[in-house]
Amino acid sequence: MNTQNSIVNTVFSQIQHLLDDKSRSVTEDMPLIGGESVLDSMKLVELCLALEDTAAEIGFEFDWTSDATMSRSRSMFRTAGSLAAEFISQMETKK
Amino acid sequence: MIVVTGASKGLGRAICERLIEKNIEVFGLARNVEDVPFSSMSCDVSSYESVRVVAQHLKKRAVKVTGLVNAAGIASMNLAVTTPQSVAQKIINTNLLGTIYCCQLIAPLMLRNKHGSIINFSTIAVVLGLKGESIYAASKAGVEGFTRSFAREMADFNVKVNCIAPGPIDTSLLKGITAEQINKIVSQQIIRKQFKPDSVADLVELLIDGRSDSLSGQVLHVGGA
C-alpha cells in the first residue's frame, strides 16, 4: 500500500511540475483531458515521456499508446487519479 | 536511424538504398522482408497492432529514431463505380490509415530527442484530379491533410512533417498503366518528364538533412503541379 501511495505521489508530482499554476495542488479528480483539462496536449505528451522514465527506473515499460489506454471513454487520462491507477496497474502486471 | 515503410520494393526500397549509400542507418518495414538485405522487420502498416509491435521493438532496443519515411502504398487504377468495396477499403487502410498509424506510434520515439523528420507520400493525382484514380487520390488527399495538421502538432517538439507528391515514377506501382496514360499525366506536370526513383530519393535526403529545418507541413510535387 505504501508503495502504491508513493507511486501516486510521484505521478501527481510529475503532473504538478507541468502545471502553469504551481501553487495548485493535484487531486484525484483533476481532469487531464477534455475542456477542463489542466494540461494542454503538448504537456500531456511531456507527462507521458516523464512517466516512461519513471517506469524505466522502477523496472517496467509504461505503455501509453495501446488502443485501450487511448480510448476516450476508458482513457487513463480522464483524471490524475485514473492515470496513477493505470500506472500502478501496468507496474503490477509487467514488473 | 531512419524508419522506412514499404522498404521491400519500389520507392521505399530505392530510398533505403540511397540512405544506406549515404551511411545513414535504416530500418526497413514491409509485409515481406525475406529479400530485404538490410536491417528490417515484417510489418503490415494497415494494422495498428503490427505497427505498435515495431514501435515497441525499437523502444526496447533504445535506438535513436530521427526519421520516418512512410513510403508504403498501394494503388488500383479504376473508376470508383467499378472498384470493389474490399479494394477501396484496402487502399484507404494502407495509404491513409497506414500513414497515420506509423506517425502515431513512431513519432513518440522522436519526441524525447526533440528532433526528427517525418516524410509522408501523396501523389500528383490529388492536384490533377486524375480520372481512374479517385479512391487512390482520396486516400492521398487524406495524407496531405493529415500531414499539415500533424506538422503543427509536432512543431513544438522540433519534428518536421512533410509530404512528397510524385508523378508517375518508374516503379512497380505503375504496373498495368500504359505508356500513353503515363505520358498524359506527365504532360500535365510543370516539368514534363517522367522522373526516376532517384529524384524522389534526392528529396527524401533533403528533408532528412538538417538544412531543410525551415520546411514543415509542406507538400512537394515531384515534377511540379
More confident residue, A22 or B89: B89
How many whole angstroms separate alpha carbon B225 and alpha carbon B222? 8
Is B160:B214 a contact under the CB 8 Å cutoff?
no
Q: What is the CATH number of the domain that holds A76?
A: 1.10.1200.10
Q: How far is A12 from chain B (nearest CA, A)?
A: 21
Number of domains chain A contains? 1
Distances (CA, A) of B150 to A81, B146, B160, B180: 29, 6, 9, 37
pLDDT in tens, B191-216: 999 999 999 999 999 999 988 999 99
Which residue has cell 526496447?
A: B60
Query: Which residues of chain B have a CB within 8 Å of the CB of A48?
Result: 108
Q: What is the pLDDT of residue A38?
A: 87
Other Cβ atoms closer than 10 A to A38: 18
Residue of higher predicted confidence among A35 and B50: B50
Confidence class of residue B190 from pLDDT cuts 50, 70 and 90? very high
In angstroms, the CA A50 to CA B52 distance is 20
Q: What is the CATH number that goes with domain B2-221? A: 3.40.50.720
Compute the half-sphere exposure of residue A62: CA atoms within 13 Å on the CB side of its CA: 22
Give the pLDDT score at A34. 85
Nearest-CA distance B155 → chain A (Å) = 10
Indicate the SS3 state at residue B40: strand
Query: Percent of chain B scored above 70 by pLDDT?
Result: 100
A59 touches chain B (CB under 8 A): no
**What is the interface size between A and B, counted as CB pairs within 8 Å?**
21
Q: Is B62 on the interface with A (CB under 8 A)?
A: no
Q: Which residues of A touch B156 (CB under 8 A)?
A: 42
Q: Which three cell numbers stand for residue B67?
A: 526519421
By Cβ distance, the residue of A41, A45, A65 closest to B55 is A65
pTM: 0.90
Retrieve residue A35's grid coordinates.
475542456
Alpha-carbon radius of gyration of chain A: 12
**Cβ separation A61–B59 shorter than 8 A:** yes
Q: What span, in angstroms and rounded, lies between the C-alpha atoms of B199 and B15?
A: 10
User: pLDDT digits over B54-78, tens only?
Assistant: 999 999 898 999 999 999 999 988 8
Tell me A34's DSSP state: S
What cell does A56 get?
524505466
Domain range annotation of chain B: 2-221
Which of B52, B55, B111 minimises the CB distance to A45? B111
DSSP B138-191: HHHHHHHHHHHHHHHHHHTTTEEEEEEE--S-SSGGGTT--HHHHHHHHTTSSS
Calpha distance B68→B58 (Å, rounded): 12
Q: Which stretches within B61-133 are classed as H helix? A: 85-91, 98-106, 108-111, 124-128
Residue type, A62: F
- Given CB atoms, is B184 within the 8 Å cutoff of chain A? no
